[in-house]
Structure 1
Amino acid sequence: MTLPENATPLASRGSMRRIDWETFRRIAEEAGTTLPIEQTAAWDAFDAAMDGREPWGRLVYETAAGQPRALISLTRMNVRGFPYLWARHAPVWLGQEPSAAEETELRELLTEGVRFHDPAVVFVRLHCTHPAPGLHELLQTMAYDHTVILDLDRPDDDAFLASFKPRGRRDVRKALRNTELTYHDETDRAEEVFAELYQILLETGDRDGFHAAPEETYRTMLRTLGPDHCRLYVARRNGGQALAWSIDTVWGDGAGRYYAASTAEGRRGRAADALLYKEGCWLRERGVRTWDLMGAGSERTPELNGVGSFKGKFTAEGTVAIPGPWDVPVRPRVYVGLVRALELKHRAETGVASLRERLGSLRSERDDHADGDPEAEASARQ
Structure 2
Amino acid sequence: MELHEISAARVEEAAKEHDLPLPVEQTEDWCEYESTITDRTYWGSVAFEQDGRPVAVASFMDYETHGYHYLRGHHAPVWLVPPTANREEELARALVAYVKRRDPKVAFIRMAVEHEIPSSRPVLSTSPYNQTVVIDLDHGDADEILSKFKTRGRRDVRKSLRESNETVADETTQALEDFAPYYAVMEETCARDGFTPSPAKDYVDMLKILGPDRARLTAGRIDGELACWALNVIEGTRATRYYGASRMLEGVKNFVDAEVFETCLILAGLGCTTYDLMGIGNDFSPNLKGLNMFKTKFSKDVVDVAPDRDIPVKGLFYKALKGAKRIKDR
Shift of 1:140: 2.8
Q: Does 1:277 align with 2:257?
A: no
TM-score (structure 2 length as normaliser): 0.94
Shift of 1:252: 0.9
Aligned partner of 1:367 in structure 2 is none
Q: Does 1:69 align with 2:64?
A: no
Quick one: distance in 2 between partners of 1:29 and 1:150? Answer: 23
Shift of 1:220: 2.1
Shift of 1:155: 4.9
- 1:308-340: per-residue Cα shift (whole Å, max 9, x none)? 2211111112x2221100111101111222233
Structure 2 matches for 1:230-379, cutoff 5 A? 230-239=215-224, 241-265=225-249, 268-317=252-301, 319-346=302-329
Equivalenced residue count is 330
Quick one: distance in 2 between partners of 1:183 and 1:157? Answer: 14
- The 3-state SS of whatever aligns with 1:119 is coil
Shift of 1:244: 1.2
Aligned partner of 1:364 in structure 2 is none
- 1:4-27: per-residue Cα shift (whole Å, max 9, x none)? xxxxxxxxxx21111123432222
- 1:135-171: per-residue Cα shift (whole Å, max 9, x none)? 2222331211111011111251221111111111111
Q: Could you tell me which of 70, 73, 77 is aligned with 1:87?
A: 73
> Larger % of helix: which?
1
Is the contact between residue 234 and residue 242 of structure 1 (CA under 8 Å) also seen in structure 2?
A: yes
- 1:37-76: per-residue Cα shift (whole Å, max 9, x none)? 0000110111221221111111111121x22111111001
Structure 2 letter corresponding to 1:202 = E
Structure 1 letter corresponding to 2:4 = R
Aligned partner of 1:211 in structure 2 is 196
* CA RMSD after TM alignment: 1.9
- The 3-state SS of whatever aligns with 1:177 is helix
Is the contact between residue 140 and residue 269 of structure 2 (CA under 8 Å) also seen in structure 1?
A: no
Is the contact between residue 89 and residue 119 of structure 2 (CA under 8 Å) also seen in structure 1?
A: no
Percentage of pairs with the same residue? 38
**Higher RCO, 1 vs 2 (CA within 8 Å, ≥6 residues apart):** 2
- 1:331-377: per-residue Cα shift (whole Å, max 9, x none)? 11112222333444555xxxxxxxxxxxxxxxxxxxxxxxxxxxxxx
Q: Gaps spanning 5+ residues in structure 1: where? A: 1-13, 348-382
TM-score (structure 1 length as normaliser): 0.82
> Larger % of strand: which?
2
- Kindly name which structure, 1 or 2, has the bigger radius of gyration based on alpha carbons: 1
Is the contact between residue 187 and residue 233 of structure 1 (CA under 8 Å) also seen in structure 2?
A: yes
Is the contact between residue 243 and residue 266 of structure 1 (CA under 8 Å) also seen in structure 2?
A: no
Change (3 A) 1:92 1:344: same
- The 3-state SS of whatever aligns with 1:235 is strand
Quick one: distance in 2 between partners of 1:27 and 1:327? Answer: 25
